[in-house]
Amino acid sequence: MKKICCFFWVIFFVAGCKTTSHTNSALADINPFQFSVQKKIIGENGAVVSAHPLASKVGVEILKQGGNAFDAAIATQLALAVVYPNAGNIGGGGFMVARTADGKLLALDYREAAPGKAYRDMYLDSAGNLLNDKSVNGHLASGVPGTVAGLFAAAKYAKLDFKKLIQPAIELAEKGFVLTGREAESFNGIQNDLKKFNSVMPVFVKETVWKTGDTLIQKDLANTLMRIRDSGQKGFYEGETAKLMVEEMKRGNGILGYDDLKNYTAKYREPHVFNYKGYTVAGMPMPSSGGVLLHQMMKMVEKRNLGNLGFHTVQSVQLMTEVERRAYADRAEYMGDADFYKVPVSKLVDDNYLEERMKDYDSTKAGSSAVIKPGKIKESEQTTHLNVIDKEGNAIAITTTLNNSYGSKTVVGGAGFFLNDEMDDFSIKPGVPNLYGAVGGEANAIAAGKRMLSSMTPTIVLKDNKPFIVVGTPGGTTIPTSVFQTIVSIIDFGLSTEEAVYKPKFHHQWLPDKIFVEKNFPEQTLAALKKMGYAIGDREAIGRTEVIKILPDGKFEAVGDNRGDDDAEGW
């Protein structure tokens, strides 16, 4: 018997009479066949917010069992790789921004890298034309996965044995969990692509439709996770899993090889840190554009009394639109992997430079992207974000991705995980829009070993040197604007955390020269913006923002976005 109850904030599943028997595991107190979605929690000891209730619950159990925020973040991310295959992953990459209990700020880069056989024009034919969808779908679209190396690099700050952290993910894959309505619908939507881009059919392929409450069991993925448990990083980048990945490549003319896997490293980098109205903001440096874009946008509004202009008024939205336009114009021209291209970061965030950028700002009429260098930027929005905090003072923001929803749509035969299509985040043909509208400069051209530019913006805002806001979201190029709007909604507009997350967002990315708005955006503001000369475009949903805010009494207020199954847990 299956019973499904839906409440305003709660989805509740009961599938058959399965119960868990995962003694001594973080899953001991979690039933993957019966769970609810919780949007907000106030925790005293710790909190986790992620895109899936089971992943958030795993994280909190790890905290309860003596782990710190790093332990919980690792376990949550591994659980997401099982229960949220859309974007949770071991075949993709990501970024972590963290603040340790002793006050150290960290930025961990485990972004995918172009394989050794990659080259600048690999997605062009001999006449220089773009080759269909090869950077997006199938075997040639994948960069070297970075997630597993990232998890082991993060484990340097963890307290518990990695085996304990990966065990819940193994059990979720081996014994299964029930699908939410959104997940079932999402699987139904990719059936044709799965059949097209796989010769070994993955478990996600089903001849009848997926339904809410169906159980998903992933034996191949469980075995892959067990190899990681037993052999560490080598259990993924070498041995059987590497062999399965290279064999998969051969089935689809991919270029990922043994050396690419063996040589991949996650890198600790200097976080991008700046000051905003007395708060310290710590973000991700290159190859993410997130930290620099956030810095540019926040500094361009800092002296302009955003709070006095009012939330969602024509005045504040127009000002924020104009700073977004200017920051994104710089992104397309100057940003890329700083290990390969000299990105002029200090110039881009110099106060005088940013004031100069705003010199032609006119608060009475729409600016024009035609007077700035032309180009378009588009990136996939199917990414995922999680935040974790513990009572010791560790705070973590992680954004991780396969790029598109389900990445390249290719699942490694016998290993059970999706490979990313992150190669599409490079400028496929510098200076010229690709099939999907992406334009970038030489800064982000393809080169072997280079990491593709990202918009992921995991961010920690500190007040008096202590964590105040931990924030991030998926959303491709809309990520930095969503994080920007969420932070100023709390700091400048005085919104509650829930309002800052749930209120409609808007986005301008230079080109197309249009403000994209979510539904329910105030009509009066839109009418006034149109009058000023702005083009307005409608958008379904912008991001799935997750926030943990530290309250004046030291408690942790965690809020998961209501645009998805996002879930906040704490204790």
- Binding residues vs ligand GLY (CB under 6 A): 379-380, 383, 401, 403, 425, 454-456, 476
Active site residue 241: no
Q: Residue 275 pairs with which residues in a beta bridge?
A: 280
SS3 call for 538: strand
In the bound complex, what is the minimum distance in angstroms from residue 255's beta carbon to ligand GLY? 19
CB neighbours of 169 closer than 8 A, spacing ≥ 6? 58, 75, 78, 79, 81, 82, 225
**Distance spanning both ends of the chain, measured CA to CA:** 32
**Phi, psi at residue 35, to the nearest 5°?**
-150, 165
Instruction: Work out how close the CB of 89 gets to ligand GLY at its nearest, in angstroms, rounded to a whole number.
Output: 11
Q: Any idea what DSSP says for residue 560?
A: -
The span from the CA of 335 to the CA of 348, in Å, is 10
Q: What angle do CA 223, 227, 231 make, to 5 degrees?
A: 170
Whole-number minimum distance, CB 379 to ligand GLY, in Å? 5
Cα–Cα distance for residue pair 22/11, rounded to 1 Å: 23
Q: In this structure, is the dihedral angle defined by the CA atoms of residues 174, 157, 383 and 316, taken in order, positive or negative?
A: positive
Burial of 413 (0-12, 13-18, 19+ CB in 10 A): middle
Question: Measured at CB, which residue is nearest to ligand GLY?
Answer: 454
Quote the least distance from Cβ 169 to ligand GLY, whole Å: 22
Name the residue nearer to ligand GLY (CB basis): 155 or 456: 456
- In 3D space, the residue among 389, 156, 385 whose CA is nearest the CA of residue 290 turns out to be 385
- At its nearest, how many Å lie between ligand GLY and the CB of residue 479? 6
Contacts of 492 (CB under 8 A, 6+ apart): 277, 301, 306, 307
E strands along 378-509, which residues? 383-390, 395-401, 459-463, 466-472, 506-507
- CA 32 – CA 24 distance, rounded (Å): 16
Contacts of 503 (CB under 8 A, 6+ apart): 311, 312, 489, 495
Q: How many helices (H) and strands (E) does the chain have?
A: 18, 21
Among 168, 177, 136, CA closest to 31: 177
Question: CB within 8 A of 467, min separation 6: which ones?
Answer: 99, 389, 393, 395, 460, 461, 550
Distance between CA atoms of residues 558 and 568, nearest Å: 6
In the complex, what is the shortest distance from the CB of residue 382 to ligand GLY, in angstroms, rounded to a whole number? Answer: 8
How large is the angle between the packed helices 69-83 and 162-175, nearest 10 degrees? Answer: 20
Identify which of residues 143 and 367 has a Cβ nearer to ligand GLY in the complex: 143
* Residue 198 vs 399, nearer CB to ligand GLY: 399
Choose between 292 and 456: whose C-beta lies nearer to ligand GLY.
456
Residue 69: closest CA among 97, 48, 38, 42: 48
Residue whose CB is less far from ligand GLY, 390 or 425: 425
**Structure-token pair, residue 191:** 């059936």
176 vs 287 by CB, closer to ligand GLY: 287
Is the Cβ of residue 71 or residue 379 nearer to ligand GLY in the bound state? 379
**CB of residue 402 to ligand GLY, shortest distance in Å:** 8
Rounded Cα gap, residues 169 and 177, in angstroms:
11
Give, for 517, the enclosing helix (H) or strand (E): strand 515-518
User: How far apart are CB 401 and ligand GLY at their closest, in Å?
Assistant: 5
Minimum Å gap between C-beta 524 and ligand GLY is 33
Given a contact cutoff of 8 angstroms between Cβ atoms, the answer to whether 256 and 142 are in contact is: yes
Q: Annotated catalytic residue: which of 383, 400, 410, 459?
A: 383
Residue among 39 and 544 whose Cβ is closer to ligand GLY: 544
- Closest approach, Cβ 271 to ligand GLY, in A, equals 17
The CB-of-186 to ligand GLY minimum distance in angstroms stands at: 18
Q: How far is CA 59 from CA 22, 74, 403, 570, in A?
A: 15, 8, 24, 9
* Catalytic residue IDs: 383
